[in-house]
Structure 1
């Protein structure tokens, strides 16, 4: 039986041999690595220590410690990283070939011929399509995100994502972020009170997405590359379907609407206890709560205005009062104003 090796994952025999030696020894200093490579010459000549050091790190086979040692990454983690890298490269290659070949447009042409000759409700007028039925809407979203290359703008007027929503969105969102597409997402304030939603939003943020929370009503939008936009036929009943437009004037107007909503929204808090370096408050939500203490006499009113649960509102009020050393809500608002927090 042929001994197992890493060549199928794109690792050269020389680099694999050095990695195996790292595993046996636990690490190399730069001098040790240079001596090893000088002794272990092959037909092509000795390897350059700096190039070898860089390649092993880029491949995910080794890391450089603060003390300057080249240390091996654990085998399971190293192989996982190599597999993920190869899968990512293959996915990018196949998606690129699919885009350049025009195969999706060709298949869509066949699909639309079928729709035109059937009773399925699909209306087409120039650069605008009316799409009815959630299955058709999701297919349209899949198509849009597949071709998105520069920017993705989306909103969530409800602010709460179910496990099913997240499962469906994760593949598309990951595909977009993997291409380094600039993703901006606006979420309604109820997201702050839903752990499942917040966990997913922080997952997206860690991958490079920009997410803000809005305390104002949001219009449901999906805009891709400022070239195509999807909006519901009836905002009150999104299950009726959507309108897909590529009309430059309409898309520009919807982009302008998104930008106005974005400007009035607040950055997603990193965590419930993460402090704002400028104010010392936990997050943007607490600044909104401080402002509401001036205008709202009851917690129920303040919570409703911010679109969050009363329990969440009261939890933040108690935290604010404790930080400020305030004995009541009114004093907390005054102290916050004196400190320039609001």
Structure 2
């Protein structure tokens, strides 16, 4: 018998130190006169009576009133169940008490600080908290994506890992995100191919990530000076609801980008032309499209003219309508 483990277990059940010492002696010497048990445990008089009485009260020992009475332990099954239930109930009540105390504290501080609803994250903590957010998603991530970025492609790995876990991702990209050199091929298209539901708008009012219905990350980036080192972490509240509404409204206004990807391309449209049309539909400038496709402006213009001829359109707007009707994009 490992006395130290037994003693630790008894103390964990709320048994006092004196009663624990008496119980360990009982396990080795009982049945024995209570006085002898007390002597072996280093207790006598009222201290012995109190310690042994505690064991009797919880059902771990049989009654012994006088020092000459035989003391002995009882089978612990029923007693241990009762003790375990009692400790669980006490722990539950303690948890309620602590939670109540914190709520009282929160109510006193909330009017002045609101620190439990909005948290300001700065510096190196920005990347760490963003990684934690993506890893903690359970059902859906909604995102408004626009430069500046702390580093191009820094979130692509997180997005791909999240998609691999079966998490739904809806992303609205700004035109600036598509025009950023290398960003489309290296970061945006791999996510779309992995299952991102992507749309695009000429511009976005804010950089935003909403994790499930749990909280939102709002970047306080400054595009003019390419600063991205502060964000707000917003818990469910009126502001959170407004951010969700902002995303949903933006999503409705945005145009699909590579809808249905990954999937078979329409047989009447080669992949290169489909990509060109997607960039045109997204509002990317001719210079940036040529750079992204690795072709000259002259070649780009010739390809656009060919597409317009195939659709019978005299303007790019008419071509866009025809492409939409034919399901080429």
Give the TM-score normalised by structure 1: 0.47
Give the TM-score normalised by structure 2: 0.48
Q: Larger C-alpha radius of gyration, 1 or 2?
A: 2
